[in-house]
Chains A and B, each alone.
Chain A
Amino acid sequence: MKEAILKIRNLKVYFFTRRGIVKAVDGVSFDLVKGECLCLVGESGCGKTVTALSILGLVDSPPGRIVGGEILYDGLDLTRCSAEKLRHIRGKDIAMIFQDAQSALNPVFTIGDQIVEQIRLHLELSQSEARGRAIDLLKEVGIPSPEEVASYYPHQLSGGMKQRAMIAMSLSCNPRLLIADEPTTAVDVTIKAQIIDVFRQLKETRKMSLLFITHELGIVSEIGDRIVVMYAGRVVETALAPELLGSPKHPYTSGLINCLPDIRQERGRLESIPGTVPSLINPPGGCLFHPRCDKAMAICRKKQPPPVSVNHGHTVFCHLY
C-alpha cells in the first residue's frame, strides 16, 4: 500500500455569518496517495473548493474558520501550523491553481517575470538561472516558442495558453502536491482536452500527486485515479475511478451520472435529480441527501449514515448498505 501524502480527517470548516453558521465542510475525510490523482467531485456549494483552500490555509478568515479535524501533510498538521510555516509550504511543497487564469495572472507583468518571481521566492537561484528554468517550465506545459511567450503579457495569450502558463507557474518550485480548482471549467471543449492532456503528462513525468477539483464527471474519467464525491459539505462516496463510474452506489452519484447528457445516450428527456441543494445553515437532519433521494428510508431522516466499505477501496455513506 502506497503511503498517503495528504490525510484529511474529519475536517470541519464553518462560516460564521449574520444569517447563521454555514457548515460549508462538515466532517470530510479522505487520503491522497503519493503519485495519484484524486478527484474531488461535486456541484456548486458542496464544499470542495473550501476543502482545498483550507489545506493551504487560504479560507477567508473573518467569516470562515477551521473548527475541527486535521489536515496531515507528511505527518504535519496544517491546521495547527503557524502562518509562517504555511507560507513556506505554499508554492513550494503544495501548489494551487485556480479556476480563472485570467484573474490569477497579473496583467502588468510578463509571463516570464511572474514565473521567475515565483521561483526566486522559494529557491536560491540567480536571475538567469531562474529565467532558464521558467522557459523549461513553459516548454513542459506545451507552450510553443517558450522564449518568445515568456516575454508576452497575459492579455496577449489565448485562454488555453493562459491556463498553461498558470500551470507552469505553479510547477515552478517542484511541488509534491498540486491542487487544481476547476482548471477546465472556464475553457472551450478543445482547450479542455489539451489541458487534461497536460495534466496527464505532468502526472506521469513528475510523479506528482494531484488533487483535482471539478464538477465535470467526464473529465474525472479521463484523469482521475480515485474519486471522492461530495454533497452539501460531506463526503458521500469514495472509490477508484472505474469502479465509481461503472457501479456507483450512492443515489446521488448515480443520479449525477444519469443526468449527464452523454454522447452515447438516446435523444429525449434526461433523468434529473429533483429539488435543489439544501441550505447549509439549516441542513436537514440525518443524511443530507434524503429530501431528494428516491430511495430514502425512515432512518435516513434521523441518522447520518456511517461509512460502509462495499468493495476494496470503495466506501459509501448511505443507509442502503
Chain B
Amino acid sequence: MIKGIKHLARRVGGIKNLILILLATLLGLTLLLDIFVVERIFDPLGYLYLTLGIVFLLYVAWPLYHSRRLVQYYWQRVKRNRLAVLGLAFILFLILLAIFGPLFTTDPTAANFEQKNLPPVGFTTSESIYNPQTGQFITKVISGTWEHPLGTDNKGRDLLAMIISGARVSLQVGLLATGIAVALGTLIGVISAYLGGKMDNILMRFTDIMMTFPFFLLLVFIVFIFGPSLAFIVLVIGLTGWTGVARLIRSEALSLRTREFVLAAKALGASDGRIILAHLVPNVISLIIVIATLSIPGVIMAEAALSFIGLGDPAVTSWGMVLRAGQQSLDTAWWVAVAPGVMLFFTVLAFNFVGDGLRDAFDPRSSV
C-alpha cells in the first residue's frame, strides 16, 4: 500500500502534488454537490478560503517548516526593523479583532433608531430640540456610553461592531484576493521565464492584454448580472491583479535562470521540472512574500473604494460602506467617517511597513 502511494506520488512529481490533487478532487466534488444536490455546504467565499488554504499549507507552510533555520535567520533580520515589528503587531491585533471581536459585540446591521447618532465614549454632542409646547429650542446634551463605545451612525448601528466587521472583510478580501493574484502571477511568471522563447512571448502578450483589462467595468458588469457579492469582488480583484506580479516574478526568474547554480543543477542532470520547482520557486519565494505583503493594502483600498461607491456586498459591513454612511453625516456625526478612515490608514501603513521590512530582510546586500 505504502509502495503504491509512493509510486503514485513519484508519477505526479511529489507527495505534495499528490495531496493537492486529492484534496482538489474532494473540494470539486463538494462543489458539485453544492450546486446540484444539497443546500449550501460552503458559501463561495468558503471555497476560495479552502482552496487557498490548501495551496498555502502545502506549498508555503510545509517548505518553510522544512527550512526552519533559514526562516529563523530571516526572522532575526526582520525583527530589527522597529516599524516592521509595529506593523506586524497591528496586523496581529487586527486579526484577533476580526476573529474574536464579533463574540463581544452586537450585530452591526441592527438598526436602532432610538439610539442614532450617539457619539463615542467620552465625547458629547448637542442637539437642538424644538419643544412645540414652549415654542423654544432646548439644547440637549448627548454623551457617549459604553454600550456603544465608538458611537452609532445615523441609523443607530453600533460603530464598533461595524468596524470589527469591516476588519474581517478587509482581511478576508486582502488575503484571498492577493492570494489568488500572487498564485496565478507566480505560476505564469515562472513558467514564462523558464520556457523562454516563443512561449515566453505568448504568455507575456497575454499578460499585457489582461493588464489593460478594465477590472472596474468587469465588476460593474458582474454586479449587474449576478448581484453584488463579496466572493465576486475577491475573484475579480484576484483575476485581474495577477499581471503585475507575473511581470516582477518573471524578471526575477529570468535573472535566476542564468545563475550558476541553475547551470550546476542542469549539469547534475536535473530535469526542467525539478529545476523550476526545487530551484527557481524557492528563490523567488522571498520576492513573492514581499510582493504579496505590499499588494494587500492596494487590494484593501480597492475593496473599500468599491463599497464606498456602492458596489460592495450589502450583506456585509465593510469599512468602505461605513465611510459611505459617514459621508452623509460628517457635520452631525463625524465619528462615523473618522473611525473607518483611521482604521484604513493604519492598516495600509502596517502592511507597507511589514512589506518594506521583509524586503530589506531578504535583500542580501542590505546590512540589516
Give A residues with C-beta under 8 Å from B.
17-18, 63
- Is B266 on the interface with A (CB-CB < 8 A)? no
Q: Which of B79-109 contact A (CB under 8 A)?
A: 80
A18 to B367, CA, bound (A): 9
Q: Which of B331-368 contact A (CB under 8 A)?
A: 367
Question: Looking across the interface, which residue of chain B has its beta carbon closest to that of A17?
Answer: B367
A63 to B367, CA, bound (A): 10
What are the residues of chain A within 8 A of B80 when measuring CB–CB? 18
A158 to B162, CA, bound (A): 68
What are the residues of chain B within 8 A of A18 when measuring CB–CB? 80
1/0 contact string of B238-279 vs chain A (CB within 8 Å): 000000000000000000000000000000000000000000
| Residues of chain B at interface, number, CB under 8 A | 2
A17 to B80, CA, bound (A): 13
Q: Which 3 A-B pairs have the closest CB atoms?
A: A18-B80, A63-B367, A17-B367
A242 to B2, CA, bound (A): 73
What are the residues of chain A within 8 A of B367 when measuring CB–CB? 17, 63
Can you pick out 3 interface pairs between chain A and chain B where the beta carbons lie within 8 Å of each other?
Answer: A17-B367, A18-B80, A63-B367
For residue B142, give the distance in angstroms from its CB to the closest CB of chain A.
55
For residue A169, give the distance in angstroms from its CB to the closest CB of chain B.
27
A63 to B368, CA, bound (A): 12
1/0 contact string of B61-84 vs chain A (CB within 8 Å): 000000000000000000010000
Main secondary structure of the interface of A (DSSP, over half): loop
For residue B10, give the distance in angstroms from its CB to the closest CB of chain A.
42
Question: Looking across the interface, which residue of chain B has its beta carbon closest to that of A60?
Answer: B367
A12 to B367, CA, bound (A): 23
For residue A64, give the distance in angstroms from its CB to the closest CB of chain B.
12
Question: Looking across the interface, which residue of chain A has its beta carbon closest to that of B368?
Answer: A18
For residue B365, give the distance in angstroms from its CB to the closest CB of chain A.
14
A33 to B367, CA, bound (A): 39
A315 to B103, CA, bound (A): 80
For residue B80, give the distance in angstroms from its CB to the closest CB of chain A.
7
For residue B138, give the distance in angstroms from its CB to the closest CB of chain A.
66
A8 to B367, CA, bound (A): 30
1/0 contact string of B128-148 vs chain A (CB within 8 Å): 000000000000000000000
For residue B120, give the distance in angstroms from its CB to the closest CB of chain A.
43
A18 to B80, CA, bound (A): 10
What are the residues of chain B within 8 A of A63 when measuring CB–CB? 367
For residue B343, give the distance in angstroms from its CB to the closest CB of chain A.
35
For residue B200, give the distance in angstroms from its CB to the closest CB of chain A.
27
For residue A232, give the distance in angstroms from its CB to the closest CB of chain B.
22
Question: Looking across the interface, which residue of chain B has its beta carbon closest to that of A63?
Answer: B367
For residue B74, give the distance in angstroms from its CB to the closest CB of chain A.
15
A17 to B367, CA, bound (A): 9
For residue B72, give the distance in angstroms from its CB to the closest CB of chain A.
16
For residue A22, give the distance in angstroms from its CB to the closest CB of chain B.
12
For residue A65, give the distance in angstroms from its CB to the closest CB of chain B.
16
What are the residues of chain B within 8 A of A17 when measuring CB–CB? 367
Question: Looking across the interface, which residue of chain A has its beta carbon closest to that of B80?
Answer: A18
For residue A59, give the distance in angstroms from its CB to the closest CB of chain B.
15
For residue A51, give the distance in angstroms from its CB to the closest CB of chain B.
22
A18 to B79, CA, bound (A): 13
A18 to B77, CA, bound (A): 11
For residue B79, give the distance in angstroms from its CB to the closest CB of chain A.
11
Question: Looking across the interface, which residue of chain B has its beta carbon closest to that of A18?
Answer: B80
A212 to B367, CA, bound (A): 30
For residue B23, give the distance in angstroms from its CB to the closest CB of chain A.
44
For residue B359, give the distance in angstroms from its CB to the closest CB of chain A.
19
A101 to B352, CA, bound (A): 39
A63 to B80, CA, bound (A): 16
For residue A214, give the distance in angstroms from its CB to the closest CB of chain B.
26
Question: Looking across the interface, which residue of chain A has its beta carbon closest to that of B77?
Answer: A18
A46 to B83, CA, bound (A): 37
A17 to B368, CA, bound (A): 10
A18 to B366, CA, bound (A): 13
For residue A103, give the distance in angstroms from its CB to the closest CB of chain B.
15
Q: Which of B299-322 contact A (CB under 8 A)?
A: none
A198 to B307, CA, bound (A): 73
A135 to B367, CA, bound (A): 42
A63 to B366, CA, bound (A): 13
A249 to B80, CA, bound (A): 47
For residue A142, give the distance in angstroms from its CB to the closest CB of chain B.
35
A158 to B47, CA, bound (A): 61
For residue B98, give the distance in angstroms from its CB to the closest CB of chain A.
35
For residue A217, give the distance in angstroms from its CB to the closest CB of chain B.
29
For residue B165, give the distance in angstroms from its CB to the closest CB of chain A.
43
For residue A16, give the distance in angstroms from its CB to the closest CB of chain B.
12
A18 to B76, CA, bound (A): 12
Q: Which of B158-212 contact A (CB under 8 A)?
A: none
For residue B237, give the distance in angstroms from its CB to the closest CB of chain A.
40
A304 to B80, CA, bound (A): 37
A293 to B225, CA, bound (A): 83
A269 to B80, CA, bound (A): 47
